[in-house]
Amino acid sequence: MKTVRLKQNMSQAELADKSGVSISTIKRMEDGEVKNFESLIRVLRTLGKLDIFVPLVEEEQLSPNEYYELASKANKPKRKRASKSYTKENKEESEW
| Homologous superfamily assigned to 2-50 | lambda repressor-like DNA-binding domains (1.10.260.40)
CA 16 remoteness from chain centre:
28
When pLDDT is averaged across residues 64-91 and rounded to a whole number, the result is: 70
Asked whether 26 and 15 are in contact (CB, 8 A), the reply is yes
In this prediction, residue 21 carries a pLDDT of 95
How do the domains of the chain map onto residue ranges? 2-50
Q: What is the pLDDT of residues 12-25, one digit of tens each?
A: 999 999 999 999 99
